A and B are shown apart, each in its own frame.
Chain A
Amino acid sequence: GENVEQHPSTLSVQEGDSAVIKCTYSDSASNYFPWYKQELGKGPQLIIDIRSNVGEKKDQRIAVTLNKTAKHFSLHITETQPEDSAVYFCAAVPGGSYIPTFGRGTSLIVHP
């Protein structure tokens, strides 16, 4: 089955800095890579996703990149704000499935 590794487990930045979270996956058949944000006391919520036929996708201050050859994908947050503080999960979904395999999460702390 799919295995997703996520790093770092904790990331602490100053407001205005950039934050990068990296994930690797094992199943070359995975073709959909969503990112979820979980705020304290809430369920995870999709913030951005990327499909395997695309190398990069941006949405305002967040962007995702995908390197299919290396089986790496990353989340980039620019100009971080305190409200970006949360746990972020990457996931990979193999083609033919709709069940994501989640990484172990990154706790992002943005200091004002």
Chain B
Amino acid sequence: DTAVSQTPKYLVTQMGNDKSIKCEQNLGHDTMYWYKQDSKKFLKIMFSYNNKELIINETVPNRFSPKSPDKAHLNLHINSLELGDSAVYFCASSQPRTSAAEQFFGPGTRLTVL
């Protein structure tokens, strides 16, 4: 009964490859997010989707393309991976009615680009 799940948990790949990370939430939330956490633990929002529509794209290279087939899923595809893409990527969801909406995070995907 995991609320927000991500696969894979670990991803090791070579520079230049294309990879995807999948995210699913079973909370019935309308809004989903992708965050990047760097090696210093800084959490930075990348994208926000509301009911399958892109709401926020925070200066992320266009090599990153989120896709939301339905409101329970938000996948992240990354083209031409670079060394600097190595980080932990978190998917999250919330049901915002006001600004006071708890974010529910997935367990994270640790991406290592060699």
Interface on A for B, CB 8 Å cutoff?
Answer: 31-32, 34, 36, 38, 41-46, 49, 51, 87, 89, 93-100, 102, 104-105, 107
A49 to chain B, nearest CB (A): 7
Q: Which 4 A-B pairs have the closest CB atoms?
A: A43-B105, A98-B96, A93-B99, A105-B41
One of B11-19, B42-50, B77-85 at the interface: B42-50
Chain A CB within 8 A of B102 CB? yes
A106's nearest neighbour on chain B, judged by CB, is B41
- Which residues on the A side are within 8 Å of B102 (C-beta)? 34, 46, 49
Asked whether any CB of chain A lies closer than 8 Å to the CB of B60, the reply is no
Interface check B62, CB cutoff 8 A: no
Contacts of A89 in B (CB 8 A): 43
**Known contacts A42-B108, A43-B90, A44-B105: does B43 contact A98 (CB below 8 Å)?**
no
Q: Which residues in B have their C-beta under 8 angstroms from that of A32? A: 98-100
Please pick, from B41, B92, B96, the residue contacting A107 in the complex, using a CB distance under 8 A.
B41
A44 touches B43 (CB 8 A): yes
Q: What is the interface residue range for chain B against chain A?
A: 20 to 34
* Chain B neighbourhood of A49, CB < 8 A: 100, 102
Residues of A within 8 A of B105 (CB): 36, 43-45
B81 to chain A, nearest CB (A): 22
Give 15 A-B contacts (CB < 8 Å), ordered by A residue: A32-B99, A34-B102, A36-B103, A41-B108, A43-B106, A93-B99, A96-B99, A98-B101, A99-B33, A99-B56, A100-B103, A102-B42, A102-B43, A102-B44, A105-B41
User: A43–B88 Cα gap in the complex (Å)?
Assistant: 10
Min Cβ gap B46→A in Å is: 11
CB contacts under 8 Å to A, within B1-57, are 4, 31, 33, 40-45, 48, 56
